[in-house]
Amino acid sequence: MNVLPVTELVRVMICPMCRGGGLAEHDDGAKCTQCAQRYTTERGVLSFLVASELSQTNQNEITANTFDDPYWVDKMLNKDDWSPLLSQQMQKVIELVDDMLPKSRDLFVLGAGTGYDLQLLLR
């Protein structure tokens, strides 16, 4: 698995805000060439969250889903421990999607959180 640096990632994406402009590298993140919306990086990951666009409920959810202690990150986000049935169902869905994708294409995973689904795709 390769993690694309921002310089390469912006070449293949458009702005999610205006849905028309290309993205260009800007400071430590990206900037839309059309609407000038800026996106930052957080721990090396390009973030498309725009705080001013989030409702208070969304902001509270993000805060509630932020864990400082690595123990709780592993405990809450390790879906393998949630339910064998959940893992089996997710695996079936991923296999169906995998069968639909051309084998020679690149796969971009956006909004993957901890990457649990990506781990299933890479099996």
7-39 tens-digit pLDDT: 888 888 889 899 888 999 998 899 999 999 999
Residues 6+ apart with CB under 8 A from 90: 79, 117, 120
Residue 55 to residues 20, 52, 61, 67, Cα–Cα distance (Å): 24, 8, 10, 21
**pLDDT over threshold 70, residue 85:** yes
What pLDDT is stored for residue 30 in this prediction?
93
* Residue 30 structure tokens: 């990206």
DSSP string across 81-110? GT-HHHHHHHHHHHHHHHHHS-TTS-----
What pLDDT is stored for residue 25 in this prediction?
92
pTM given for the model: 0.57
* Residue 123 structure tokens: 């099996």
Average pLDDT of the residues in 30-58: 87
Arithmetic mean of pLDDT over the chain: 78
DSSP string across 40-90? -EETTEE----GGGS-HHHHHHHHHT--SSHHHHHHHH-GGGT-HHHHHHH
What pLDDT is stored for residue 60 in this prediction?
86
In angstroms, rounded to a whole number, what is the distance separating the alpha carbons of residues 109 and 82? 22
Q: Which helix (DSSP H) or strand (DSSP E) does residue 6 occupy?
A: helix 6-9
Between 55 and 77, residue with greater pLDDT = 55
What pLDDT is stored for residue 90 in this prediction?
77
